[in-house]
Amino acid sequence: MQDVIGEFITYLSAERGLSANTLESYGRDLRQYSAYLKNKVRLVSLLDASRANIISYLLLMEKQGKSPATIARRLAALKSFYQFLVRQSLVERDPTANLESPKLDRKLPKVLTVREVETLLRQPKPGTPGGLRDKAMLELLYATGIRVSELISLSVGDVNLDSRYVRCAGKGGKERTVPLGTIACQAVSEYLTRGRPQIVKDPGERSLFVNHHGRRMTRQGFWKILKKYAGEAGIRKEITPHTLRHSFATHLLENGADVRAVQEMLGHADISTTQVYTHVSRGRLRDVYKTSHPRA
């Protein structure tokens, strides 16, 4: 069964271009399901599982207190897996057909106010190479709304300061270009001129943002940098590397940006993913109304 799971993961990587984290999650979910079949149902093979077996597995997860999001993700992995097995003629029927995922309460993303963002962006000190780098990273992230994984994957040639755009590869390897504002362009330019040359040790290193070893910045490295500056800025909200992306989208929509333009800049395949930010904006409008209207 490990061979079948391995073939499926290879398919997801080659044909659908899923990220390494997603592939790891799918593999883990399928191995847990396989262990359940072997230990609880006494089935050795995933190929022999019935619809009833899968429903029992879903009910067990619910009984164990798994969140609807976790159950939905594991069911999504099973659905994709059995669809693959059908296409490969390894099973005749898909036992997950017409099984519905639990309804999820879509949580509104946590965002910073414009003032909080401005305070955060003032924290890096431009007097050091590291400060110039940190300033450039934060300014670029808020100016473009790109994912942190996209930020740290950038190479020097992906940023065009003359035409003011950044080119990045998103989920599934889909490439897109995003406009770059004046302030972010200036921050990146100063980093490239006065910061990066003092940090990079290998002349052949093409990573745009590097750590103190002169190698590509990691997600964990950026996370530590962000937490440090959030603390210095006095931001008490829970903040993650994705917070600036959420704030970018929300602030654009609050100021009248077209939702489809924001969708393209964020690299969302489905506009419904982008529309969650319109709910945040409407919530902001309600707050303004309640505090400003004399008869609210």
Catalytic residues: 147, 171, 242, 245, 268, 277
Report the distance separating Cα 8 and Cα 23, nearest Å.
10
- Distance between CA 280 and CA 263 in Å, rounded? 15
Residue with tokens 């639990």: 102
Element (H, E) at 211: none
| Strand, helix or coil for residue 34 | helix
Q: Provide the strand spans (E) within the chain.
A: 159-160, 165-169, 175-179
- Residue 212 class from Cβ within 10 Å (0-12 exposed, 13-18 middle, 19+ buried)? exposed
Are the beta carbons of 277 and 250 closer than 8 angstroms? yes
